[in-house]
Structure 1
Amino acid sequence: MFWKFDLRTSSHLEALLDKEDVTLTELMDEEDVLQECKAQNRRLLLFLCQDQCMQKLVRMITTEPPAGVEEIKRFKYPNIACELLTCDVAEINDKLGNEEPLLETLYAFLEQPSPLNPLLASFFSKTVGNLITRKTEQVLSFLRQKEGFLSLVLKHIDTSAMMDVLLRLISCVEPPPLRLETLTWLNEEKLAQRLIELIHPERDEERQSNASQTLCDIIRLSRDQASQLQEMSQPDPLLTVLESQGCVEQLLQNMFSGECTESCVVNGIQVLLTLLEIRRPGFERSYNVNSSILLAIQPHLKHFHQLLLEPPKRNPMLTTQGMLEEPLGNTRLHVARLVASLLWQTFNVTLLLFQGLFFKYTWNNFLHLQVELCVAAILRPCAHEMRLQPGLGAQEYLMPQQDLSQGQALSDTPSQPPLTNENSAHNLMVTHVCVSIYVLS
């Protein structure tokens, strides 16, 4: 019978806590230390929350461990320290968020010279991110007192973990009034403009890429929050600046200043494509595109046209079809994506305008003809030469050409191109559009 046996095993961790001279590293060597911490073991938490222990934990995640040790073993204690500091236990959060000496030790990591150790940077980012979420007011107050905080984060933006710190400040601050206050502070520090400055041919590629990704994430996060939170009394100041004509013009000037590089052009276009996003895959909500973005891009269309003709030089590429002397390249591919997005914007606006006029003036055949020509020109460049024959009904228009009796074509006009496999489907689509407009008119 089970009650005859004592199946409980004495925890080695409890035995260590009974020792008067137990050390922090001894406890961290125990496999169940993190589990016991999350389970809020009172004796363990009292030990960890001592000033001396907390300082050691913070130093572990912000100080390069001694060299000459295997990489996995080198970062064993920093990794465990980060897990303990971010295990979301109230006692640890309170101690770390309310004690300024601990915050100072944590902040000192940003004051180190570049480049930062990527693994330590991820530990720092995770710890700060947890504090921003759990001890929001205390941490924001501390960071806002540091005049060089944003400069230090941007100095280390080539380390991707620094992006997470910025995005936490934008997305994880509650309640909404405090979020708006934080966004206003970041805007006053000119976060958007300073990120755009980093997308420049003179900057290294990693810095440009991370700055571009940060801007794209800020735009998407800001739009999502603006659509979800109706209680915000003012528009998002960061998003307002990013969508302004002046900010987009500055980005474009950076992209085309001096010798164009693929990194700068591609990263800049990624920001433009995000600004032009109407809807994201997997998201039902849609966004309105500010016309100032299109106005800023318009004068630079010639530059994009020139990039299609003369992209940054690329080395020949060996493909399965042989040697490709002039690869398409990422630059031309991104320019094509931008042009497609711009065409969609103007196409969408034009059709909406035409739709309104078309149904408002239902008896104006002069207008209907121009609408027909515009739609047909979009679908096929030479479609403007087509004319509707008044003697044909809708069914005759919809009939494929090869089904007409005696091989008669839809039009006897000599300029009509012969039917081929390439244009048959296209002709049928244009015919459908023309019939629809003809029937409506």
Structure 2
Amino acid sequence: MSFWRNFGFHPISHIETILDREQFTLDELLDEDELLQECKLQNQKLIEFLIKPESLSLLFEYITKEASEESDRKRKETYPFLASEILCMDITSLIDAVYKDEHYLSQLYDIVNQQEFNLGLASYISKVAINFLGRKTIETMSYIKKQDNIIEKFINHLDKSPIVDMLLKIISIEEFQGGAGTLEWLDKSNLIGGIVAKFSPTLDSEFHENASFVLSEIIELNRSFSDSPLIIKLESEETIQKLFDYILSDVPLGTSFLHGLTVIIKLLRRHKEHSDSVVTKKTPLAELAPVFKESLIHTEELKNLLTKPTESSFTTTTGLLSPPLGFHRLKVIEFFADLINSRYLCIDQKFIQQDILSACLLLHDSKLLDRIIKADEDNTNEIKQTKGIRYGYMGFLNSIAFSICEVAKSNPSLKNYLDANPKWAEFVSDSLKPVLTLESEPLGDFRMSLMMPPDDDEDQIYENDNDDYNNAYDNGGFVEGNFQNHQIVYEDDDDDESFADQQQNHHILYTNQEEEEDEDEDDDEQFEQRRPKAFITEIQVEQETTQEQGNEKSASESEGNENISTPTVLSSEENQQ
């Protein structure tokens, strides 16, 4: 019960009114909007009613049994949702009541025994089952392990996302308290073999996608377990062979090929992460892990797929691709890239023997340089057309060209090959470099941050300013020392009057306005350096003003002083002119 209700600051809810009756039903409570809030507030009367066997049975019935067609919307949608929310709440007495009788768990896990079921209800079942598995790990796993062939039943429903979520929770329970030994039990239940079997091209794409997802999650979840029985089984020669059999038997290429090869790529990357830092490992081919040996056996078949487009044409926002690279050929190139990244010398030699690099559109035989140059020319001509647009792949093409130039800096043979193509040097200077220069510039107007250290030139300027100030102050000639590059000129009708006479009556100090307009705000150090000048200037102006007032009589005798016009500041160069 909340504080506000205890002290009379909260109105009595409809839930309390219902609970005060002698007779009421669970449906009446479920119809109230405040039900979930009252459960969160740990309303004792409400909880005591919910943990009754008849109430619990009805809550489980709402999420496990599909309503009849004649039922209203509340029974089909609202009640199952509310029942799942209540069962997932942190109410200790309710969870304890559920585990007093295995019948409730049987209602949840009976879903794997059904051939077809409502996916909406299955999502509620999965949500509640995962919650119980996290709160009562030992009790729940004890129940699951007692069920016959339950892992096989999970795998048979691998095309259903709610079942996949439940299976992944069971797989990850090893890391939780009370979950020790789960990986060994899953291995004995043939989890890996059952999932790999779902890559069969005869099955639907949902099986292939979810099987790839589960195996990828197993690889990620078992990073911290070096001797995980699931990883050992997945990386075994038998499993890798079966996986490649399903991949290459998927003709025409489909989802079994795509998702099966994704698992192989994940395993290749896992080996790279766990390998040492030797740049080129000289391990013999016979001593490589099964995933590498089996991959090299099938490189020739995969290479041949690169010459066979899977689609005749593909329309994009930038035009027609005919033929497009396609997802299948892109996946093959990704597979070859991860094989090369393994840094095994024997794999590099195999690639050279089979000329795989050329098949992947690289340099000599593929005429990659000529293709890049031709594509750039076509793009330039397209932009010049009326309403022409830049080709969508030009960013990738420039990235490839830049990578080639970077590698050539440390590879003499590649550099000689590039120098032998005169059009390449023209492309780099006229097209590539301008684009790279433009892309390297910051967006918008760059402003120097106050946190950045000043440049050497700026330091020199401020040092010179200090020197000017010190010299001027020491010599008693502040104005002359600080404004040596500027003179004050007056435009006046009386040209005969000397500049010295005008200066006696009018002492006006100017700063360089052009420099102030171009400069941004000064940092603290600059401000500290410039502040004494402004301070002394104010004192001097005040002193000179006092001197003017003292000489009013002599100043009034000079008639020419009345028509003095506004002074103009000229630089030393303009004064000389």
Matched residue of 1:261: which SS?
A: coil
Give the whole-Å Cα distance in 2 for the aligned partners of 1:193 and 1:76: 40
User: Which residue number corresponds to residue 390 of structure 1?
Assistant: none
CA contact (8 A) 2:174 2:181 kept: no
2:76 alignment partner in structure 1:
74
- 1:203 matched to which residue of 2? 203
Letter of the 1:206 counterpart: E
Matching residue of 1:135: 136
AA aligned to 2:260 is G
Query: What letter corresponds to residue 221 of structure 1 in structure 2?
Result: L
Cα displacement string for residues 9-54 of structure 1 (whole angstroms, at most 9, x for unaligned residues): 0121111111222111111122221222222222111111111111
Deviations 1:287-309 (A, max 9, x none): 44983321221111122112212
Equivalent of residue 107 in structure 1, options 89, 106, 109? 109
Relative distance call for 1:180 and 1:299 in structure 2 (3 A) is farther
| CA displacement 1:303-335 (0-9 Å, x = unmatched) | 2112212254x3643334554443322111111
Question: How many residue pairs were aligned?
Answer: 355
Contact 1:279 1:287 in 2 (8 A): yes
| Correspondence for 1:438 | none
| 1:365-409 Cα shifts (integer Å, max 9, x gaps) | xxxxxxxxxxxxxxx867xxxxxxxxxxxxxxxxxxxxxxxxxxx
2:325 is matched with which residue?
Answer: 328
Structure 1 counterpart of 2:323, which letter? E
Tell me how far apart the structure 2 counterparts of residues 109 and 181 of structure 1 sit (CA, whole Å).
25
Change (3 A) 1:415 1:23: closer
Instruction: Output one character per residue of 1:173-205: Cα deviation in whole Å (capped at 9) or x when no partner.
Output: 4556x5341111111111011111101111111
Q: Secondary structure at the match of 1:27?
A: helix
1:28–1:315 CA distance, 2 compared to 1 (3 A): farther
Q: Which residue of 2 aligns with 1:50?
A: 52
CA distance in 2, matches of 1:421, 1:235: 56
After superposition, the CA RMSD in angstroms is 3.6
Give the share of equivalent positions with the same residue, in percent.
Answer: 30
Q: Is the 8 A contact 2:183 2:228 kept in 1?
A: yes
Q: Counterpart of 1:338 in structure 2: which amino acid?
A: F
Matched residue of 2:315: which SS? strand
Q: Any stretches of 5+ residues in structure 2 without a counterpart?
A: 277-287, 349-361, 365-414, 431-577
Distance 1:251 1:63 in 2: 38
* Separation in structure 1 between the aligned mates of residue 109 and residue 63 of structure 2, nearest angstrom: 11
**How far 1:417 sits from its partner (Å)?**
4.2
Q: Cα offset for 1:424?
A: 7.9
CA contact (8 A) 2:212 2:259 kept: yes
Q: Secondary structure at the match of 1:26?
A: helix
Equivalence for 1:295: 293
Bigger-Rg structure (1/2) = 2
In the TM superposition, 1:229-378 aligns within 5 A as 235-257=227-249, 259-278=251-270, 286-288=273-275, 291-312=289-310, 314=311, 316-320=313-317, 322-346=319-343, 349-350=344-345
Offset at residue 158 of structure 1 (A): 0.9
Tell me, yes or no, if the aligned pair for 1:201 and 1:260 is still in contact at 8 Å: no
Equivalent residue letter for 2:425 = T
In structure 2, the partner of 1:385 is: none
Provide the TM-score with structure 2 as the length reference. Answer: 0.56
Q: Residue 291 of structure 2 aligns to which amino acid in structure 1?
A: I
> What letter corresponds to residue 209 of structure 1 in structure 2?
E
Gaps of 5+ in 1: 227-233, 281-285, 354-379, 383-410, 426-441
**Residue 413 of structure 1, CA deviation:** 11
Cα displacement string for residues 78-125 of structure 1 (whole angstroms, at most 9, x for unaligned residues):
1111111111221222222342111122222222222x3222111111
Check the 8 A contact 1:183/1:237 in 2, yes or no.
yes
- 4+ residue stretches of structure 1 with deviation over 6 A? 69-73, 411-415
Report the counterpart of residue 155 of structure 2 in structure 1: 154
Q: Deviations over 1:234-291 (max 9, x none)?
A: 82111221122322221111111262432111111111122122599xxxxx444983
C-alpha change, 1:173 and 1:330, in structure 2 (3 Å) is: same
Deviation track 1:132-185 (CA, whole Å, cap 9, x = no partner) reads: 111111111111111131122112211111111111112234556x53411111
Quick one: which amino acid aligns to residue 43 of structure 2?
A: N
Greater relative contact order (CA < 8 Å, ≥ 6 in sequence): 1
Once the two structures are superposed, what CA deviation does each residue of 1:330-369 show, in whole Å capped at 9, x if it has no partner?
11111111111111113xx459x9xxxxxxxxxxxxxxxx
Q: Residues 214, 71 of structure 1: CA spacing in aligned structure 2 closer, same or farther, 3 A cutoff?
A: farther
> Taking structure 1 as reference, are residues 412 and 342 closer, same or farther at Cα in structure 2, changes over 3 Å only?
closer
In the TM superposition, what is the alpha-carbon distance from 1:70 to its structure 2 partner?
7.6
- CA 287–121 in structure 1, closer or farther in 2 if over 3 Å, else same: farther
* 2:132 maps to amino acid: L
Distance 2:325 2:93 in 1: 57
Scaled by the length of structure 1, what TM-score is found?
A: 0.72
C-alpha spacing 1:316/1:82, structure 2 compared with 1 (3 Å): same
Shift of the alpha carbon at 1:414?
13
Give distance in 2, aligned partners of 1:85 and 1:345.
49
Please tell me whether the aligned partners of residues 51 and 97 of structure 2 are also in contact (alpha carbons under 8 angstroms): yes
Structure 2 vs 1, CA of residues 137 and 320 (structure 1 numbering), >3 Å: closer, same or farther?
closer
Query: 1:65: Cα distance to partner?
Result: 2.1
Q: Contact 1:245–1:292 at 8 Å: present in 2 too? A: yes
The separation in 2 between residues aligned to 1:103 and 1:6, in whole angstroms, is 41
Aligned to 1:13: 15
